[in-house]
């Protein structure tokens, strides 16, 4: 482990001359283990009784991984739009269900702020739609498999909607600020 709590690091190339440092923080691993444990021993057996024990662990692990991936996809959504609009993104660190990015500061045009902020919740809603499509294609008599897709579909949908609330520091607050700045030219 590196001194800053990062257990794994790689670089992602975006476009010809833009590299983003991707970090997995030790908290990300601990959150993954904690969420898997809570789901496998607590939530899933209570809500969906009668599965084989191994199925609870497999589904719990799959849900925890998918929701952690959603946190990364959320930040990557911001990053792709930011880079497309000429901003720099230096680093994305995954802390478990949430990720954080270090982007170039400095003033951005309201329409850029609007697009960059909106990309986060839209990423969650896109993941929710993809998982919902997968859920509909899965065999109706295989409850564990359907929960493995349906649970993160719901959590991504809720995360997308919550993120759209016009409250700072949520993305919805940034979207609202960008709209106000664009309309009133402040
Ligand atoms: Zn965001």
Q: Express each pLDDT in 32-49 by its tens digit.
A: 999 999 999 999 999 999
Two tokens, residue 31? 């959150």
Q: Considering the domain boundaries, does residue 120 fall inside one?
A: yes
pLDDT given at position 17: 80
C-alpha 94/C-alpha 117 separation (Å) is 18
pLDDT given at position 108: 78
Rounded to whole angstroms, what are the CA distances from 153 to 63, 127, 129? 10, 7, 7
Distance from the alpha carbon of residue 130 to the mean position of ligand 1, in angstroms:
19
pLDDT given at position 3: 66
Two tokens, residue 165? 């609330």
Distance from the alpha carbon of residue 132 to the mean position of ligand 1, in angstroms:
22
Distance from the alpha carbon of residue 175 to the mean position of ligand 1, in angstroms:
10
Q: Is 173 exposed, middle or buried (0-12, 13-18, 19+ CB in 10 A)?
A: middle
Distance from the alpha carbon of residue 137 to the mean position of ligand 1, in angstroms:
30
Distance from the alpha carbon of residue 51 to the mean position of ligand 1, in angstroms:
36
* pTM for this entry: 0.89
Distance from the alpha carbon of residue 121 to the mean position of ligand 1, in angstroms:
7
Distance from the alpha carbon of residue 152 to the mean position of ligand 1, in angstroms:
18
List, in order, residues 6 or more apart from 86 with CB less than 8 Å away.
112
Distance from the alpha carbon of residue 45 to the mean position of ligand 1, in angstroms:
32
Rounded to whole angstroms, what are the CA distances from 154 to 3, 11, 43, 131, 136? 36, 30, 15, 9, 13
Residue 96 has pLDDT above 90, yes or no: no
Q: How confident is the model over 120-144, as pLDDT tens digits?
A: 999 999 999 999 999 999 999 999 9
Domain range spanning residue 60?
6-184
Q: Considering the domain boundaries, does residue 154 fall inside one?
A: yes
pLDDT given at position 186: 57
Distance from the alpha carbon of residue 177 to the mean position of ligand 1, in angstroms:
14
pLDDT given at position 15: 77
pLDDT given at position 57: 98
Q: Considering the domain boundaries, does residue 155 fall inside one?
A: yes
C-alpha 152/C-alpha 159 separation (Å) is 10
Q: Considering the domain boundaries, does residue 133 fall inside one?
A: yes
Residue 170 has pLDDT above 80, yes or no: yes
Q: Considering the domain boundaries, does residue 1 fall inside one?
A: no
Q: How confident is the model at residue 4 (pLDDT cuts 50, 70, 90)?
A: confident
Distance from the alpha carbon of residue 75 to the mean position of ligand 1, in angstroms:
6
Q: Considering the domain boundaries, does residue 44 fall inside one?
A: yes
Distance from the alpha carbon of residue 99 to the mean position of ligand 1, in angstroms:
9
Residue 74 has pLDDT above 80, yes or no: yes
Distance from the alpha carbon of residue 125 to the mean position of ligand 1, in angstroms:
12
Number of domains in the chain: 1
Q: Considering the domain boundaries, does residue 125 fall inside one?
A: yes
Percent of the chain with pLDDT over 90: 77
């Amino acid at each position: 482990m590196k001194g800053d709590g990062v257990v794994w690091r790689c670089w992602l190339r975006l476009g010809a001359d833009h590299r983003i440092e991707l970090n997995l923080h030790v908290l990300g691993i601990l959150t993954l283990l904690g969420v898997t444990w809570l789901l496998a021993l607590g939530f899933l057996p209570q809500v969906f009784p009668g599965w084989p024990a191994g199925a609870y662990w497999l589904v719990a692990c799959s849900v925890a991984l998918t929701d952690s991936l959603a946190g990364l996809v959320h930040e990557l959504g911001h990053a792709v739009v930011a880079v497309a609009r000429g901003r720099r993104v230096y680093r994305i660190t995954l802390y478990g269900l949430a990720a954080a990015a270090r982007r170039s500061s400095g003033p951005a045009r309201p329409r850029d702020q609007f697009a960059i902020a909106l990309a986060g919740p839209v990423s969650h809603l896109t993941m929710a739609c993809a998982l919902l499509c997968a859920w509909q294609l899965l065999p109706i008599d295989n409850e564990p498999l359907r929960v493995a897709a349906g649970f993160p579909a719901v959590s991504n949908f809720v995360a997308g909607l919550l993120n759209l609330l016009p409250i700072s520091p949520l993305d919805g607050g940034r979207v609202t600020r960008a709209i106000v700045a664009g309309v009133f030219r402040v």
